[in-house]
């Protein structure tokens, strides 16, 4: 970048450096744990696993150009003609902030939100939803875009993107190991339903609809029940035992590492949002517009379809307003609420609106 019109934030710089240090420690801590498990299981030298973070990082860069945006959502580069409001607004703000224009992506969904992403060595990306473009006036759209550009100028997007990728990989690593066993569930249940049984896979979802149990004559049904079904039951019992054993071995150590990674994201995330709010309001000179945009985005959160929430769940800590949780993921007891507050990647809306209101008052006195 040629420069930046956003004021520096020393506290944010310290937190970014702290995040990079903790990310490296966690990445190589995970690799050490993986190496010890491989040494115990296969006798391999444990230190070979120390190359895992480097290999994993290389794979992230190779897959889809390192964009790390979810594949399940319809995402395309901004069209200079169809999305001229977006392109023009970003060009104006980048000229005002003396920074290069990032890549622009549009997520083709009806609900409004925006996020900024960056992998080290890659050009940053600002992604906005079609809903944001359709529902925001020019002032609110500029305020949201200035907020995302502030993240890029503050250089916190790279730290958050890498920390998020690490946290997600730690959480999903056990699933990657258990996935081959879990994949057996669907064909087993299909075979059982062909035999007239109404088995339901433990991993059932919309991608694997189950046929209705097949109807057979009484004699044939009895023959299948005495011959094929016991074999299927034996295979399924072995599968569950293997899943239980591997789960007991893998899940606790992965959780020990994944929880600190989530804490890293929360600690940096809450402060960086306040810093980006402040930077965007100072750049545009319209803190009230940003406050109005944040209020509207927060109110629109509950209308996001569940399928879209699942697609963007891993990116929730990167969006300008945190995505709501599925009802099944929301705890109601005191401990759950405490954990939610501690691990929240965004400050409460009220904590964001008050500094913007104060900045509006300060700007009013100056004029």
Q: What's the pLDDT at 1?
A: 37
Q: What contacts 166, CB < 8 A, 6 or more positions away?
A: 23, 26, 27, 30, 261
Q: What's the pLDDT at 38?
A: 76
% residues pLDDT > 70 (the chain) = 78
Q: What's the pLDDT at 307?
A: 67
Q: What's the pLDDT at 316?
A: 78
Q: What's the pLDDT at 175?
A: 62
Q: What's the pLDDT at 2?
A: 38
Ranges of each domain in the chain: 10-179+242-366
More confident residue, 53 or 124: 124
Give burial (CB, 10 Å; 0-12/13-18/19+) of 101: middle
**Does the structure show a pLDDT above 70 at 27?**
yes
Lowest mean pLDDT among 97-106, 176-185, 289-298, 334-343: 334-343
Q: What's the pLDDT at 268?
A: 87
pLDDT, average across residues 28-41: 80
- Kind of pairing between the strands at 114-117 and 75-77: unpaired
pLDDT, average across residues 231-236: 92
Report yes or no: 111 and 308 within 8 Å, Cβ to Cβ.
Answer: yes
Distances (CA, A) of 203 to 176, 243, 314: 14, 13, 20
* Distance, CA of 209 to CA of 219 (rounded, Å): 28
Write phi, then psi, for 212 (nearest 5 degrees): -70, 150
More confident residue, 184 or 153: 153
Q: State the virtual CA torsion across 259, 262, 267, 268 in degrees, nearest 10.
A: 150
pLDDT, average across residues 100-104: 95
3-class SS of residue 128 = strand
Burial 222-246 (b: 16+ CB within 10 A, else e): eebeeebbeebeeebeebeeebeee
Q: What contacts 258, CB < 8 A, 6 or more positions away?
A: 167, 170, 171
Sheet holding 114-117, edge to edge: 75-77, 103-107, 125-129, 114-117
Averaged pLDDT score across all residues of the chain? 82
Lowest mean pLDDT among 253-262, 268-277, 311-320: 253-262
Q: What's the pLDDT at 5?
A: 73
Reported as a single tens digit per residue, the pLDDT across 250-263 is 677 666 766 777 77
**Does the structure show a pLDDT above 80 at 66?**
no
Q: What's the pLDDT at 64?
A: 47
3-class SS of residue 30 = helix
Indicate the pLDDT class of residue 31, thresholds 50, 70 and 90: confident
**Does the structure show a pLDDT above 60 at 264?**
yes
Q: Work out the number of other CB atoms within 10 angstroms of the CB of residue 316.
A: 20
Write phi, then psi, for 17 (nearest 5 degrees): -60, -40
Ranges assigned E (strand) in the chain: 75-77, 103-107, 114-117, 125-129
Report yes or no: 35 and 46 within 8 Å, Cβ to Cβ.
Answer: yes
**Does the structure show a pLDDT above 60 at 188?**
yes
Q: What is the pTM of this model?
A: 0.74
Highest-confidence range of 10-14, 18-22, 333-337, by mean pLDDT? 10-14
In sequence order, what DSSP letters do the residues of 164-220 get, joined into one string? HHHHHHHHHHHHHHHHHHHHTHHHHHHHHHHTT-----TT--TTSPPPPPPP--HHH
Burial 1-39 (b: 16+ CB within 10 A, else e): eeebbbeebeebeebbeebbebbeebbebbbebbbebbe
Q: What's the pLDDT at 109?
A: 87
* Distance, CA of 148 to CA of 156 (rounded, Å): 11
Reported as a single tens digit per residue, the pLDDT across 130-183 is 999 999 999 999 999 999 999 999 999 888 887 777 666 665 566 666 677 777
Indicate the pLDDT class of residue 345, thresholds 50, 70 and 90: confident
């Amino acid at each position: 970048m040629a420069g930046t019109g956003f004021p520096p934030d020393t506290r944010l710089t310290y937190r970014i450096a702290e995040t990079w240090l903790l990310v490296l420690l966690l990445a190589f801590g995970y690799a050490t744990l993986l190496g010890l498990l491989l040494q115990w299981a296969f006798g391999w030298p444990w230190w070979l696993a120390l190359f895992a973070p480097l290999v994993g990082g290389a794979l992230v860069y190779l897959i889809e150009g390192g964009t790390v945006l979810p594949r399940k959502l319809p995402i395309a580069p901004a069209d200079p003609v169809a999305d001229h409001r977006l392109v023009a607004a970003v060009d104006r703000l980048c000229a005002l902030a003396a920074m290069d224009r990032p890549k622009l992506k549009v997520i083709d969904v009806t609900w409004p939100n925006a996020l900024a992403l960056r992998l080290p060595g890659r050009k940053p990306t600002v992604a906005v939803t079609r809903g944001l473009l359709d529902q925001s006036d020019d002032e609110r759209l500029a305020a949201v875009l200035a907020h995302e550009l502030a993240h890029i100028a503050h250089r916190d997007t790279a730290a958050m993107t890498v920390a998020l990728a690490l946290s997600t990989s730690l959480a999903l690593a056990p699933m990657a190991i258990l996935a081959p066993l879990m994949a057996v569930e669907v064909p087993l249940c299909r075979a059982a339903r062909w035999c007239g049984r109404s088995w339901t896979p433990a991993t059932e979802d919309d991608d694997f609809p189950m046929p209705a149990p097949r109807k057979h004559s009484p004699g044939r049904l009895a023959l299948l029940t005495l011959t094929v079904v016991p074999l299927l039951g034996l295979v399924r019992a072995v599968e569950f035992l293997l899943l239980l054993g591997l789960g007991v071995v893998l899940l606790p150590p992965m959780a020990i590492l994944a929880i600190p990674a989530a804490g890293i994201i929360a600690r940096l995330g809450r402060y960086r949002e306040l810093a980006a709010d402040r930077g965007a309001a100072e750049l545009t000179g319209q803190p009230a517009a940003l406050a109005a945009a944040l209020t509207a985005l927060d109110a629109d959160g509950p209308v996001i379809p569940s399928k879209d929430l699942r697609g963007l769940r891993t990116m929730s800590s990167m969006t300008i307003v945190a995505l709501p949780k599925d009802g099944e993921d929301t705890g109601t007891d005191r401990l759950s609420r405490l954990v939610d507050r501690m691990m929240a990647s965004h400050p409460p809306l009220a904590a964001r609106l008050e500094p913007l209101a104060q900045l509006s008052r300060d700007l009013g006195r100056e004029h």
